[in-house]
A = this chain, B = another copy of it.
Amino acid sequence: MPLVRISFREGKSAQYRRAVADEVHGALVEVASVPELDRFQVLTEHAPADMIYDATYLGVKRSDDIVMIQITLNQRAQHVKVAIYKAIAARLAKNPGMRPEDVLISLVPVAPEDWSFGDGKAQYVKAET
């Protein structure tokens, strides 16, 4: 259910990008009740001029290794969202070894009825009988 868009500055290896994608998904599975198989991600790379970030906003020292992670997912309680941020940053620090300051996350909460996982069906909507 989450549809995850991860934006990288160009120059990271496919292995590096895959590690980021793996750990983002792992964090969602670990702390946000996302099923292991519920994985749909789009990774993009951008030239420096096309990925603009502030290097100090809120006192966080960001670098050109910044990754912007936008996750469309079913609404979660606030404490779950907080846990998602913590888990993603902690995992990315281990693999591929990112600075936590470079992990920017944006959630876009939607409802179960906002998804079709194929076959033209709304799999999360209970049949109306």
Binding site for B on A (CB under 8 A): 3, 7, 14, 17-18, 21, 35, 37-46, 49-54, 56-58, 60, 62, 68, 70, 72, 78, 81-82, 85-90, 100-111, 113-123, 125
How many copies of the polypeptide does the oligomer hold? 3
Contact A68 to B3, CB < 8 A, known contacts A54-B37, A114-B106: yes
B39 lies within 8 A of A53 (CB): yes
Report B-chain residues with C-beta under 8 Å of the C-beta of A106: 3, 72, 110, 114-115
Report B-chain residues with C-beta under 8 Å of the C-beta of A58: 37, 117-118, 123
Q: In the complex, A89→B19 CA distance in Å? A: 32
B43 lies within 8 A of A52 (CB): yes
